[in-house]
Amino acid sequence: MIRGHAQSETPCKAIELYNHMEAERAVTNGFTYSFVISACARSGLLREGEQMHSKVIANGFCSNLFVQTNLVNLYAMGGRSVGVGNARQVFGEMSERNVVTWNSLLAGYVRNRDIDMAYGIFNEMPERNVVSWTTMIAGCAQNGRCKKALALFGEMQRVNIELDQVVLVAVLSACAELGDLKLGRIHKNAELAAHVAQKLTVELDPDRAAGYLVLLSNVYATTKRWQDASVVRRKMVEMGVKKPPGRSWVEIDGVIHDFVAGDWSPIHGYSIYKVLGEILAQAKSEGYKADILEQLIED
């Protein structure tokens, strides 16, 4: 049950089940801690995850590969220098590491916008998979290193790594950012973006294709291909694309609150969205860009 909830859209329920187990003095093992720590990471509940880390130490599961890997992911998910530092400490204590462990640490540095450290980890990796490549490419694209993102994309293709949806949307973002280059390069990037978007819209259902079509439209607009941008927008209408609502959790005074974008039902809903609007406006004024890496971790 804990494993099922930890991997579902309701990871908080895994934590609740663990609390019931603890109250009933049920026997736990390394897998129990591993899945609960994973649930804490997916729910963004760092404090609960730290408490689980203490219990892992107390119960002698510190050397469990799955527990350690999920601890690295937990701290790396925080995206702060302290959290990434904790992730690096756990990583350094591991006698055995797999590609998932390396990817978790890599993603932590990317979230912390420390692209130089991330690239160092990327180069140290004894083995890379598609997640390694997409994390690095998406990180470069999100942090203004668009030429590097496209260069890595080319290298990824040369080593015959199968492309996934996240790296394709990162390439779309990089193409959009590079729209002010000389005309020949602009045309090249726009054509690459069109090819990538076409591949995505064929593979995905309409709801998931929405964001990619918007990015393609932005690429065309940046390169002043207004007619092409208009065609993409019309295609979006024809497909009936719409972006599914986002979902998040927050813990306040020991109570977990569940939020869905556009849902005004929570208590003080109006006040919450008013404050969020003010925060978003300030973030945009300071150059904030939405992070596309979350999808990478979920996928």
Whether the per-residue pLDDT at 269 is higher than 70: the answer is: no
Q: How far apart are CA 138 and CA 293, in angstroms?
A: 7
Within-domain flag for 13: yes
More confident position, 14 or 171? 14
Within-domain flag for 264: no
Q: Looking at residue 277, what is its pLDDT?
A: 77
Q: How far apart are CA 171 and CA 296, in angstroms?
A: 14
Q: How far apart are CA 70 and CA 51, in angstroms?
A: 14
Within-domain flag for 263: no
The label of the residue with tokens 């609150």 reads: 257
Within-domain flag for 114: no
Within-domain flag for 296: no
Q: How confident is the model at residue 192 (pLDDT cuts 50, 70, 90)?
A: low
Per-residue pLDDT reduced to its tens digit, 10-60: 888 888 888 888 888 888 888 888 899 998 888 888 888 889 999 989 988
Q: Residue 66: which domain range?
A: 1-101
Whether the per-residue pLDDT at 258 is higher than 60: the answer is: yes
Within-domain flag for 37: yes
Q: How far apart are CA 134 and CA 132, in angstroms?
A: 6
pTM assigned to the model: 0.64
Domain count for the chain: 1
Within-domain flag for 176: no
Q: Looking at residue 180, what is its pLDDT?
A: 41
Q: How far apart are CA 27 and CA 8, in angstroms?
A: 23
Is residue 211 within 8 Å of residue 176, measured between CB atoms? no
